[in-house]
Every structure is written in structure tokens, then in C-alpha cells.
Structure 1
Amino acid sequence: MTRRSPRGHLVGGYGLAALAVLLFLAFSLALPDTFPTRANVSSILSNQSIPALLALGATVPIATGRFDLSLGYGLGLAHVLVMYLVVDAGTPWPLACLAVVAGGGLAGVLNGIVVEFARIDSLIATLGTGSIMYAVTGRLTGGGRIVPGPQGLPSSFTALFDARFLGLPLPAFYVLAAAAVLWVVLERLPFGRYLYVTGSSPRAAAVLGIPTRRYSVAAFAASGLVTGFAGVLLAAQQEVGNPSVGLDYLLPAFVGALLGSTTVRPGRANAAGTLVAVTVLAVGLAGIGQLGADFWATPLFNGGTLLLAVGLAGYAARRRLRTRAPADAPPPPVAAGSSPRPPARP
């Protein structure tokens, strides 16, 4: 088998990061007075923090070969539930936030159980559970919005989104922290390796003794936790409970996660790649918005990028399999109580 050249490895691994830089330079030249400014960069970091978190959440199930389509519905339910607990039920906001994040993790566990133990395809299962979440959201709001009273929401709660740290929006640091944790888990811990083996070859994972169902459920639980936290941030940002807002974030989340699997570690979902992909999307959307594009340009950009991301992800995975050197393949498992067979003499 042929190995990839160092140049090809650099292009495949870091070409998307280079594209992000080129896009920023191109828009800066086209819009020198508005785009390369601190205010614009701050706005991009703030506005794209929630899509970035959801993309990181979607990355974990994708690593196991599953898809969580309930992300958008879960985001809508989480942010409405925070508003309901704080505004209507009078719950202290820290307790309400903890309850919602924990509830997101529980919803993820239920998703994993439905997928793994009921043996329902993840696309269909999470679409069904997402519809149920949407129904619960409508039940909480009665089809309307949850609006705070004259005193508004506690300033300490809205500061979760509005505050700044080191001159940058605080949500940007949430994204960096989530990406760092996810990178360590996926790339440096056995848990991440088991997720990748489960996603690439469930049969091989079973032969190696990996409890694939357990790790798949854990992946959905992690996705639910991230979604719950993103819902808390969305409530702090909008300061109103809108039952239909979550679905707008579903497509960008999957675009970021799938496009991210084509860079840094091409052929598999990874946190660093997702972060790079989200950066490309954020710069692109901000640029076309400032150029005065019509309202339909955003869904066109997201949809076209999604198709490109899926195609590139499949190509990267196939190329990774074709170019993998035999020496890189793991040795076959050895049964307990036996010794490896010595190599045959020539």
C-alpha cells in the first residue's frame, strides 16, 4: 500500500484551518472598516458559541457511528425549562441550571437506551425522541413565550452569557474548555479509543471485549449534557423562553461536526477538527452577512456546506482505510491463557 506524502498529510490535516485564515483575510480586504475589528471578532465569538457547543456535543455520538438528531429539540427544551423554573416556578437560577444540565444528560441516556437496546436506527430513534421533547416544550409554554416579569432575570444569571474575560466574551472560553476536555477524552484516554473502535468496527470491538452498548449510551449522555449546558446559555442570551428557537441550531451543529471529521484527524470525528470547522462556518457566515446577502443565503450556505462535509467525510474515511500501512494495524487479540504464536520460519 502507498503511504500519504507529508504534503498530502498537511493539506488533508490542516487545509481547513488554512481556509479559515484565507476567508478571514478575504473578508478583511473586502470589508476593511468593519470585518477585521475587535468588535466584529467579539461578536462572532459570542454569536457562534452555542452552535459550537452543539457541534462538539454532536461529535461524541458521531465518533461511535451514531447521530443525535434530538440536539435541536433538546436545546429548545433546555432553554425553555430554565426559563420556566426561574420565572414561573421561582427556582434559584443555579439550581435550575444544574437541574437542566442533569436532565440533558438523562435525556441522552434515554436516547442511547432506545438506540442500543431497542435496536432502532439512531437517526429514527433520536428524531422520535426529539419530537417528544418538542411536545414537552410546547406543553410547558402553551405554544407561547415565557417572558420574565418587570424585574427581569437575575443579572448574575444573564452574566453567564454577557460577561467578558480577558476582553473576550465568556462563552468563547466555555467552547475552548469543552473542546479541550473532549480532545483529552477522545485522544488521550481509553474511553475515547473504545468509542472510535465502536464506531469504526462494532464487530471488532465485540471481539476485543469492549461493551459497545455501554459506550454508545455514554456517548449520547455526553451529547445530552453539552446540549443542556448550551440551553442554559441560550436562556441567558435571549432572556425569553421561545419554544421554536432550538431547531435553528441543528443543521449548523451537524455541519460543524461532520466537516470537522475531515481535518486535523481526517476520517474520524475529533474535537480539534470540529473547532476548526466551526471557525470556518463562523467566519463565512459573518462575512456574507456583512456583505449584505439576502436572508436565504444563510440556509443555502449551511445546506451546501453540509453536503460538502458529508462527501468529504466519507472520502477522508475511505482514503484513511486505503492508505493505512500494514504496520499501523493493531495486532490480533490473544485469547486469555494462551501465548502468541511465534512467526513462521522462512
Structure 2
Amino acid sequence: MQSLKSDALEPTRADLAKLSPGRKVRKLLPVYGLPMLAVALIVLFSLLFPTTFPTAMNFSAIIENKAVIALLALAVLCPMITGKIDLTIGYGIVLWHILVISLQVRLGLPWLPSVMIVLVLGAALGLINGLLVEVAMIDSFIATLGVGTILYAIALWHTGGRQIVGELPAAFTSIDSLSVGPLPITALYVAGIGLIQWLLFEHTPVGRAMYAIGANPRAALLNGIPVRRYVIFAFVVSGTLTAATGVVLAAKLQIGQASVGLDYLLPALVGVFLGSTTVKPGRVNVWGTVVAVIVLAVGISGIQQFGGDFYIEPLFNGATLLASIAIAGYAQRRRRVAKKVSATPVLASMDAGIQMPKNGD
């Protein structure tokens, strides 16, 4: 009996060894096309704007401006692996960045306890989302949209529509302002969280179970995977990372206002959907998400240097979201077809091995 082959779209070394150079390129293009696009965009804009684009200051600004989006994308990635979506990331970051400042300015708490309180509340919110989805059986889109709207209302009530401003300790603002060599420290946050998630999702039984749930929750349950527990865990991780991102945003802005935060929701979702078209085509993945955010950041920065108007960024994000969902859907269909094709020899060999009973047996 032949063994089942992987249904992944990314080719193995054995597959590539059998192919001509031209066919290797065609095989690798869907997997590494987005990273190559990122490099091509950097080269293109560097040639077009040699005095402004390929500078340490510009790349530092790109990282600094898009780190919050990357962190939110990694937050929403967790429930999306299990086939759920968490829209509270866009609303939660509004409340958490306001709250961590308010605890220090209005209540006089030290910065570290303020940060810890916000992280605990973020985890609690993730738990509530998980319970609504898995216990109350509310669709994740509806549940998190409803909870997120409540969070936004709380933020508006708490601020009264005004900014929260006050003296913040240097230790708190350094959460965002520090640099490690030429890199802003926020780049290390993204790299560190991405590495931890990659190890968790790609190299542990927990991650494999979560991907199995996202592929087919009923089949995962029948195979003994505690679906409810893993989905709730994914929402708790998402809530905690969203709260941490809110802390970073607060240290960056140094003021709290309810009008800031929702603009990050769409780019974060675009990053995850677009990331599912590369590295591991057909499923959301960590490094694909990071590469997608880089492509978005470089593309928008280059367009702005062309003199693009203020509406270019939301237009670019919206168009990219639609395109990425279409491409991701196509990749998932290819994955399902590959799985069916790879299973066909197994079924055939099983049929061939079944002997019909003779008369009298």
C-alpha cells in the first residue's frame, strides 16, 4: 500500500530534483513569489528614489510605522489558524492603549503594574471571546464584532471624546522608542513573537492540532483533539497579544484617544490573508504574514514618495484584501484537489486488496 503524500502546495527537495530549471521556477513562484515581490519593490523604489528610499532613516520609519500592524496581524493569526476570526483586535487596541495611559495619569499607578493589568484584561477578553464562540456557539465574526463594538463604546465613555494626556515615565515610553543598533525595538518584538509562534504552530503537537481544527473541526474532534480547548486558547493568545500591541501603541503616541486604533484592523487582516498565499500557500502562516506586512509597508511607502494622496493607503489596503482573499481561496482549492489526488492511489490499492468471497466461503 502506498503512503499518503502531503497535501501541501510547497514542493519538497525530492519533487524539485526531478524538474527542469524552468519548471522549478514555476513550482517555487507560488511559494516564494511574495518575498521576491518584496525584494523587487525595494529595488524598484531604490532606483526611482535613490536619495530618499534606500536610507536607514526611511527603513527605520517604515518598520516603526508598520510594527503595530504586524503585531496585530500576528495576534489575529492565532484564531484564524483554527478557522475563526477575531475582530476585537481593532477595537481592543483602542481601549488598551487608552487604559494603560489612564492607569498611570489618572490613577497614579506605576507603569509596570499598569501594563500587567492591561495584559491580564486582554487575556480575559480573549477568554470571553472563546467562550462566546465555543460555548455559546455564536459565529466568531458576529461574536467578536459585537464584543469589539462594546469595547469601543467603553473607550468613548471613558475618554468622554477627549484625549488623555499626562506625564509618562521614560521607562514606559522606551517600550517603543528604544533602538537596537539601526533597528527600532519594535522590529525585535515582531521577530521574537513571530519566532515563538512559528515554533509553536509548525513544530509542536499543539500547532498541528490547531491547523487540523482549522482544516476540519469535526474530523479533528473525531480524532480526539479537544477542539473547544484549543479554540479558546487561540482567542486568549490573540487577546493578550492585542493588549501588548496596545501598550506599544500607547508608548508610541503618549496620548490616549478613541479615534486611534480602528485604522489598524483592515491592514492587519490584509496581512494575514495575503500571507496565506506565500511560504505555506493555502493556509495562514507566521512568516507569510510578516512578509505580507513588509510588502504592504514598502508598497505604500513607495507610492507615497510618488506623491500619492492621503486616500491611497486605504485604497491600496482594500484592493489588496480582495485580491489576497481571492488568491488564498484559489490556493485552498488547489490544496484540497492535491489531497484528493494523493489519496486516490491509496483507495485504489485498498480496493485491489479486497478479495471477494467465493461461493461457499
TM class by shorter chain equals over 0.9
Aligned-residue offset at 1:326: 5.7
* Cα 1:97–1:9 shift into 2, 3 Å: farther
- Percent sequence identity over aligned pairs: 47
Could you tell me which residue of structure 1 aligns to residue 289 of structure 2?
274
Alpha carbons 2:83, 2:213 under 8 Å: kept:
yes
Aligned-residue offset at 1:291: 1.5
Could you tell me which residue of structure 2 aligns to residue 95 of structure 1?
113
Structure 1 position 312 matched with structure 2 position 327: yes
Could you tell me which residue of structure 1 aligns to residue 270 of structure 2?
255
Could you tell me which residue of structure 2 aligns to residue 344 of structure 1?
353
Partners in 2 of 1:81 and 1:303 — Cα distance?
Answer: 30
Partners in 2 of 1:83 and 1:72 — Cα distance?
Answer: 18
Partners in 2 of 1:318 and 1:345 — Cα distance?
Answer: 32
- Provide the aligned C-alpha RMSD in A: 2.2
From 58, 66, 74, the equivalent of 1:56 is: 74
From 137, 142, 163, the equivalent of 1:119 is: 137
Partners in 2 of 1:248 and 1:71 — Cα distance?
Answer: 11
Q: Secondary structure at the match of 1:324?
A: helix
Could you tell me which residue of structure 1 aligns to residue 14 of structure 2?
none
Could you tell me which residue of structure 1 aligns to residue 19 of structure 2?
none
* Cα 1:9–1:104 shift into 2, 3 Å: farther
From 15, 31, 48, the equivalent of 2:33 is: 15
1:300 aligned partner, one-letter code: L
From 17, 37, 57, the equivalent of 1:39 is: 57
Aligned-residue offset at 1:263: 0.5
Q: Secondary structure at the match of 2:277?
A: coil
Alpha carbons 1:109, 1:221 under 8 Å: kept:
yes
* Cα 1:187–1:97 shift into 2, 3 Å: same
Partners in 1 of 2:204 and 2:60 — Cα distance?
Answer: 33
Partners in 2 of 1:327 and 1:254 — Cα distance?
Answer: 32
Alpha carbons 1:82, 1:232 under 8 Å: kept:
yes
Aligned-residue offset at 1:136: 1.3
Partners in 1 of 2:310 and 2:192 — Cα distance?
Answer: 32
Partners in 2 of 1:78 and 1:274 — Cα distance?
Answer: 23
Structure 2: gaps of 5 or more residues: 12-22, 356-361
Could you tell me which residue of structure 2 aligns to residue 236 of structure 1?
251
Instruction: Give the number of equivalent residue pairs.
Output: 334
1:70 aligned partner, one-letter code: T
Partners in 1 of 2:250 and 2:174 — Cα distance?
Answer: 11
Alpha carbons 1:78, 1:228 under 8 Å: kept:
yes
From 82, 88, 103, the equivalent of 1:85 is: 103
Partners in 1 of 2:282 and 2:232 — Cα distance?
Answer: 22
Alpha carbons 2:276, 2:282 under 8 Å: kept:
yes
Aligned-residue offset at 1:9: 3.3
Could you tell me which residue of structure 1 aligns to residue 158 of structure 2?
140
Could you tell me which residue of structure 1 aligns to residue 20 of structure 2?
none
1:58 aligned partner, one-letter code: V
From 156, 161, 175, the equivalent of 1:160 is: 175
Could you tell me which residue of structure 1 aligns to residue 235 of structure 2?
220
Partners in 2 of 1:73 and 1:244 — Cα distance?
Answer: 10
1:65 aligned partner, one-letter code: G
Could you tell me which residue of structure 1 aligns to residue 224 of structure 2?
209
From 175, 188, 191, the equivalent of 2:206 is: 191
Partners in 1 of 2:334 and 2:168 — Cα distance?
Answer: 52
Could you tell me which residue of structure 2 aligns to residue 174 of structure 1?
189
1:241 aligned partner, one-letter code: G
Partners in 1 of 2:127 and 2:158 — Cα distance?
Answer: 22
Partners in 1 of 2:149 and 2:63 — Cα distance?
Answer: 30
Could you tell me which residue of structure 2 aligns to residue 107 of structure 1?
125
2:353 aligned partner, one-letter code: A
Aligned-residue offset at 1:144: 1.1
Could you tell me which residue of structure 2 aligns to residue 336 of structure 1?
none
Q: Secondary structure at the match of 1:48?
A: helix
Structure 1 position 245 matched with structure 2 position 260: yes
Partners in 1 of 2:354 and 2:302 — Cα distance?
Answer: 64
Aligned-residue offset at 1:262: 0.7
Could you tell me which residue of structure 1 aligns to residue 339 of structure 2?
324
Matches within 5 A, 1:284-303: 284-303=299-318
* Cα 1:328–1:147 shift into 2, 3 Å: farther
**Alignment deviations for residues 53-80 of structure 1 (CA, whole Å, 9 cap, x no partner):** 0011111111111111111100001100
Could you tell me which residue of structure 2 aligns to residue 28 of structure 1?
46
1:11 aligned partner, one-letter code: L
Alpha carbons 2:56, 2:182 under 8 Å: kept:
no
Aligned-residue offset at 1:345: 6.5
Partners in 2 of 1:322 and 1:120 — Cα distance?
Answer: 31
Q: Secondary structure at the match of 2:87?
A: coil
Alpha carbons 1:84, 1:140 under 8 Å: kept:
no
Structure 1: gaps of 5 or more residues: 333-340
Partners in 1 of 2:200 and 2:50 — Cα distance?
Answer: 40
